Amino acid sequence: MASVASKNMWLRRQQCPCGDWKCYVTYEGDAEETSIVSQIVKTESLQSQDMVAPYVGMVFKTDDDAFEYYGNFARKNGFSIRKERSRLSPQLGIYKRDFVCYRSGFAPARKKLSEEHHRDRKSVRCGCDAKMYLSKEVIDGVSQWFVVQFSNVHNHELLEDDQVRLLPAYRKINEADQERILLLSKAGFPIHRIVKVLELEKGIQGGQLPFLERDVRNFVQNRKKVVQENDALLNEKRENDTMELLEACKATKEADQDFVYDFTVDQNDKVENIAWSYGVAVNSYALFGDVVYFDTTYRSITYDMLFGAWFGIDNNGQPIFFGCVLLQDETLRSFAWAIQMLIRFMKGRCPQTILSDLDPRLRDAITSELPSTKHVTSIWNILPKVSSWFSLQLGSQYADFKSEFDALYRLESTEDFELRWNQMVSIFGLGSDKHITLLYSLRTSWVLSYVRVHFLARMATTAYSKSVDAFLKGIFGAQSCLRGFFEQVGIAANLQNERHQEMQCQYMHMKTCLPIEERSRQILTPFAFNALQQELIVSMQYAASEMANGSYLVRHFRKIDGESLVIWIPEDEQIHCSCKEFESSGILCRHALRVFIDKNYFQLPEKYFLSRWRRESSLMFFDDHSVHDKDDEWFQEFQSLTETLFAESSITKERSDYIRRELTKELTRLLNEVRDMPENDGAPMDFMLTPTD
């Protein structure tokens, strides 16, 4: 009976190029796939060179090397080979190997059954004498294989390149294609459509796969029984591993009361969905839960479960892990439950904005469960689909289409977008395309001119996407069970928290010598300060023209078009720019900064230093059991000391390095002393310190 593969293979979830939403999976390269590709490249490279025909006396390190070499020679010359005989000795093991042409020898006579009609297949064997015989010798303790006989004389016609690839020896379905074929077959795809999907994914013309449609059909039929057996074993493995995961959650809860988890069961009382989060994630959400990204990129083949993860962005611009969920299916009900768990784990706090992919069921779940939350579709989830949807359809025009699509995404005006979108659709003849219709219907959730009015905290960027992807790849190793995966998630979350703390004491250089820059450096984290600093630098290239109503038109000194309107309300020191950068990222834009500079502001109003981008946001303690007054003397003293410490340490690199080194040691010492104190002295103190806006 076939055994269940022990490797837990996680695959990227993505819409199939064929346009069917049932098929979401593409491959995430691993060591085995890399090896397969390497072998193919090696073989093709060898074929492209002039090969030396085997000869008597030719030496190989192993018999496998000899077979590979002879096989490559055979393919280049229009035939294939097979292994014939081998001879064994107690001292040397296998010491003789015979490789022959695939048409060597004659087929044995078959007994005909009188009462059954069967197909009488004609044998391809015709007694061809082409061969290569090997013998092993041990010289100075090293085994080598020598060619002792070789003949390249054939008594049949040799095949051309386009014919030889169709020989059974070369019609191999590699492991990656096998997995893909089984997934598509399981999804209900007929054989001819599976072949078409593979051709589309590989970007090749019909009939150019290294195997035939009948090979796919035979493979699927032969695997049906194996799949049925494996399904039974996999179901048992899933149930056992899922129960182990629940036990791990219970044990973690006993050791850490701040850990939270929940699960659902189906009608047979079997675990269906599981979600969990950590105490540090809940505390982080209180500070940085204004924007959440729900990633549903990966699915496990072994457990047939979708992995969803909630992320935010901290004040250092790094992804921060809020929790995760394993779902048995991708229905509206399952997605809705996942969102309910996020809100419950985070004590009822809903995000201002949530980012996700284009999945229609996930979109419906977000609309249902988070009616007051703005929903944005991240551009990095859209761009891969744009390529799969239009690259083959548009052919040589795709590059021009992609350039125009990117330009449309970045337009600042919704009116300009509407006009140019219609022009693009007309130019490329996409008026009846269902994907263009889908993208346009969802434009308010992904086009920059529409979504910039929502707070995104700089999460809708390529840099953030890459950081999330790096985190996910770090947890999707070769775990063979769910418990191992659970432990890896915990390790990755802890490492992420440590990196967050390490980034707090970075030295920040002054570049403009403006008083605004100096004050900002004392307040903001390195990430936020760097973003504001870049806007300050670029603002020097802009001119502000005051209008009669007190507003300003701000434009680049080299650009006639594209000015921004800045509205200034002096009574409240409020500033609003038409580019909506502050509303989107929480960092003032170059246009607003230009106006502040022209008005001789030496420091920005405090309201424009959001608490989520401040240094002290990383040093807050949380305990939701009680809330002390923010005017508490101890809190004021603590906040004053920490602000002064970071302000003074950021002046020079020497100070920054010293604080980073000594503060870690001192905090560690204090922590050890506190842990040595009694845990209960009869007078519990619950407190929570929160950042001020």
The residue among 496 and 220 whose pLDDT is bigger is 220
Look at domain 256-378+446-503 and name its CATH class.
Answer: alpha beta
Mean pLDDT for the chain overall: 82
Per-residue pLDDT at 210 exceeds 50: yes
Per-residue pLDDT of 618-662, as tens digits, reads 644 344 433 344 445 665 677 667 767 776 776 677 877 788 788
Per-residue pLDDT at 27 exceeds 50: no
Residue 693 is predicted with a pLDDT of 38
Instruction: Determine contact, residues 308/338, Cβ cutoff 8 Å.
Output: yes
Report how far residue 299's alpha carbon sits from residue 283's, in angstroms, rounded to the nearest whole number.
Answer: 28
Residue 60 is predicted with a pLDDT of 94
Per-residue pLDDT at 183 exceeds 60: yes
How many CB atoms sit inside 10 A of residue 318's CB? 18
Per-residue pLDDT at 327 exceeds 80: yes
Per-residue pLDDT of 612-623, as tens digits, reads 999 876 644 344
Per-residue pLDDT of 399-457, as tens digits, reads 999 999 999 998 888 999 999 999 999 999 999 999 999 999 999 999 999 999 999 99
Per-residue pLDDT of 498-542, as tens digits, reads 666 555 555 677 888 899 999 999 899 999 999 999 999 999 999
- The band of 25, judged by pLDDT with boundaries at 50, 70 and 90, is very low
pTM of the model: 0.62
Per-residue pLDDT of 102-151, as tens digits, reads 999 888 776 655 555 555 567 788 989 999 999 999 888 888 999 999 99
Instruction: Determine contact, residues 294/354, Cβ cutoff 8 Å.
Output: yes
How many CB atoms sit inside 10 A of residue 315's CB? 27
Residue 34 is predicted with a pLDDT of 36
Report how far residue 564's alpha carbon sits from residue 557's, in angstroms, rounded to the nearest whole number.
Answer: 13
For 348-366, what is the mean pLDDT?
93
Joined together, the tokens standing for residue 167 give 């020989």
- Percent of the chain predicted with pLDDT > 70: 81
Residue 14 is predicted with a pLDDT of 52
Position of tokens 């025909």? 53
Per-residue pLDDT at 3 exceeds 60: no
Residue 655 is predicted with a pLDDT of 79
Per-residue pLDDT of 371-413, as tens digits, reads 999 999 988 889 888 988 998 889 899 999 999 999 999 888 8
- Torsion, Cα 268 269 272 274, to 10 degrees, reads 180
Per-residue pLDDT at 33 exceeds 70: no
Domain ranges of the chain: 58-105+124-165, 171-249, 256-378+446-503, 515-617
Position of tokens 């009609």? 117
Instruction: Determine contact, residues 595/566, Cβ cutoff 8 Å.
Output: yes
Position of tokens 């009188």? 114
Joined together, the tokens standing for residue 538 give 């670029």
Residue 43 is predicted with a pLDDT of 38
Position of tokens 């502050």? 582
For 555-567, what is the mean pLDDT?
85
DSSP secondary structure letter of residue 104: -
- Percent of the chain predicted with pLDDT > 90: 44
Beta strand 353-356 with 374-377 is parallel
Joined together, the tokens standing for residue 400 give 């021009």
Residue 23 is predicted with a pLDDT of 42
Per-residue pLDDT of 595-607, as tens digits, reads 999 999 999 999 9
Residue 17 is predicted with a pLDDT of 42
DSSP secondary structure letter of residue 614: B
Residue 686 is predicted with a pLDDT of 39
